[in-house]
């Protein structure tokens, strides 16, 4: 464990479940956020929840994300809170009993009132963070946003101050009880996301070499 600051524990980020393991180390939040690039953004529109997948990038204290829906909800209600959830599924927990079946996962939830990023310099920096988070090396390689594109981009910033992390890992828990006597196989089916071979755009002009940062991504 590092000496990183703890995550806050407000009423809604306090962990209520047992098997799922709540974490309070800030480094664990960073690790979950670093391990992905797609979040599920929850907003309330006209009193109804709406959950949309969107891309994010994170600094040490801020989550940047796209979101026209969040942007609409911000216009409707500038103080409206959102919940951003990032989940990585690591495996299926196959127990002796159906009841003890579960999923190994790492998940982060961030609550707060997002801020629409308006200032062009901050927007450019936020988009750099987001782009580099998803595909390191692309910001300096691809053409950066024009002023017009920047104006057409919705970028939101959310503080990481109120966040919680839950991690479920390991094997089923019914091996030591009476179910352990059952002739039922038990264990874990690991799941992970892998990258395939890069597919060149059919419209790619001949003679453009694959840059090293992309070749490295595909080889991982």
Is residue 7 part of the contact set for a copy of itself (CB under 8 A)? no
Q: Determine how many CB atoms are found less than 10 A away from the CB of residue 83.
A: 19
**Which CB, 3 or 46, lies closer to a copy of itself?**
46
Is residue 8 part of the contact set for a copy of itself (CB under 8 A)? no
**Which CB, 15 or 116, lies closer to a copy of itself?**
15
User: Closest distance between a copy of itself and the C-beta of residue 181, in Å?
Assistant: 7
Question: Are 62 and 157 a contacting pair, CB within 8 Å?
Answer: yes
Helix, coil or strand: residue 176:
coil
Question: Are 104 and 19 a contacting pair, CB within 8 Å?
Answer: no
Binding to a copy of itself in span 127-186, by CB under 8 A: 127, 131, 134-135, 138-139, 141-146, 149, 152-153, 171-172, 175-176, 179-186
**Which CB, 4 or 210, lies closer to a copy of itself?**
210
Binding to a copy of itself in span 25-54, by CB under 8 A: 37-38, 40-45, 47-53
Which residues are registered as beta bridge partners of 87?
107
Strands 115-116 and 48-58: unpaired
User: Closest distance between a copy of itself and the C-beta of residue 2, in Å?
Assistant: 26
Secondary element (H or E) of residue 91: strand 82-94
User: Closest distance between a copy of itself and the C-beta of residue 3, in Å?
Assistant: 29
Binder of a copy of itself out of 1, 60, 118, 199 (CB under 8 A): 199
Q: Please enumerate in sequence order all residues whose Cβ is within 8 A of that of 27, keeping only pairs 6 or more positions apart, or say none.
A: 1, 2, 4
Binding to a copy of itself in span 85-114, by CB under 8 A: 85, 87, 89, 91-92, 94-99, 101, 103, 105, 107, 109, 111
Question: Which two three-digit tokens encode residue 37?
Answer: 């690039």
Is residue 74 part of the contact set for a copy of itself (CB under 8 A)? no
Binder of a copy of itself out of 84, 125, 155, 156 (CB under 8 A): 84
Binder of a copy of itself out of 60, 119, 195, 206 (CB under 8 A): 195
Question: Which two three-digit tokens encode residue 196?
Answer: 């395939």
Question: Which residue matches tokens 């090396």?
Answer: 137
Q: Please enumerate in sequence order all residues whose Cβ is within 8 A of that of 28, keeping only pairs 6 or more positions apart, or say none.
A: 7, 165, 167
The angle at the Cα of 15, spanning 13 to 16, to the nearest 5 degrees, equals 125
Is residue 18 part of the contact set for a copy of itself (CB under 8 A)? no
Is residue 118 part of the contact set for a copy of itself (CB under 8 A)? no
């Amino acid at each position: 464990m590092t000496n990183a600051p703890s995550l806050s524990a407000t009423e809604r980020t306090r962990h209520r479940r047992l098997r799922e393991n709540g974490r309070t180390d800030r480094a664990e939040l960073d690790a979950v956020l670093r391990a992905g690039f797609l979040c599920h953004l929850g907003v309330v529109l006209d009193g109804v929840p709406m959950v949309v997948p969107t891309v994010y990038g994170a600094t040490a204290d801020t989550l940047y994300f796209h979101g026209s829906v969040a942007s609409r909800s911000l216009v409707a209600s500038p103080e409206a809170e959102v919940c951003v959830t990032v989940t990585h599924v690591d495996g299926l927990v196959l127990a002796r009993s159906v009841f003890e079946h579960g999923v190994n996962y790492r998940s982060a939830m961030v609550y707060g009132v997002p801020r629409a990023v308006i200032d062009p310099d901050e927007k450019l920096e936020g988009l750099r963070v987001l782009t580099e988070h998803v595909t390191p090396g692309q910001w300096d390689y691809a053409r950066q946003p024009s002023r017009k594109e920047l104006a057409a981009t919705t970028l939101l910033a959310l503080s990481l101050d109120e966040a919680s992390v839950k991690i479920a890992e390991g094997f089923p828990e019914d091996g030591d009880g009476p179910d352990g006597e059952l002739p039922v196989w038990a264990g874990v089916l690991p799941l992970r996301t892998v990258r395939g071979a890069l597919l060149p755009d059919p419209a790619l002009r001949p003679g453009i070499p694959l840059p090293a940062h992309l070749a490295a991504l595909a080889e991982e």
